Chains A and B, each alone.
Chain A
């Protein structure tokens, strides 16, 4: 039972490159989320999704794109990476709108 997985776990990329972070969950949870975590800022919501093909912006969506063609996958794309996007990215999912949230192990992204 894999639960929620993220790939890659570590990524180094150069400024201007496109990067896609993958998130996969095996629970068929309706709701999925992408957060970034930086020192002093806690968890900041980038995008979230209530179901396949339903997505909405969070606090810090600029520079990111998401898609959700299948319930179990929620990839996050940095269209043109910038150094300010160096961060730890967490994907999360939950079954219902008020249920507990399960986090993936995170992806540590460094943009040089």
Chain B
């Protein structure tokens, strides 16, 4: 079936270190989205990537979409305590009906001050 795998499940870093989470799909995606969930909160949309090889930046966050549109990554440069939370990737599969979004299990980021 259609799946989106995300690694690592947990990541602990010291403030100032970099962080990367990776997402892989079993099938080609039409687009991929990234969400952030703060502890005790709900997931919040960060960004969407649509084009093959696309790279987008939001301040210290860099998002990439693979050439084959099957994988993606989120890289945070010089983490801060405000980056704490769980990061989810979510893919729209080509040809999927009813607008279903396939979420990875998320990467929980802990940042030590």
Q: Which residues of A contact B (CB under 8 A)?
A: 30-31, 33, 35, 40-43, 45, 48-50, 54, 56, 58, 90, 92, 94, 96-98, 100-106
Q: Is the interface of A mostly helix, strand, loop or mixed?
A: strand
| Interface residue ranges of B6-37 to A (CB < 8 Å) | 9, 30-31, 33, 35
A42 touches B106 (CB 8 A): yes
A98-B92, A100-B33 given; A105·B42 CB < 8 A = yes
A42 touches B105 (CB 8 A): yes
A50 contacts which of B35, B42, B99, B105 (Cβ < 8 Å)?
Answer: B99
B98 touches A42 (CB 8 A): no
Q: Which residues of B contact A (CB under 8 A)?
A: 9, 30-31, 33, 35, 41-45, 48, 88, 90, 92, 96-101, 103-106
> For the complex, what is the distance from the CA of A106 to the CA of B45, rounded to whole Å?
15
B43 touches A90 (CB 8 A): yes
> For the complex, what is the distance from the CA of A33 to the CA of B42, rounded to whole Å?
14
B107 to chain A, nearest CB (A): 10
Residues of B within 8 A of A42 (CB): 88, 103-106
Can you list 18 A-B contacts (CB < 8 A)? Answer: A33-B101, A42-B88, A42-B103, A42-B104, A43-B88, A43-B103, A43-B106, A50-B98, A90-B42, A92-B43, A97-B96, A98-B92, A100-B33, A101-B43, A101-B45, A103-B43, A103-B44, A105-B41
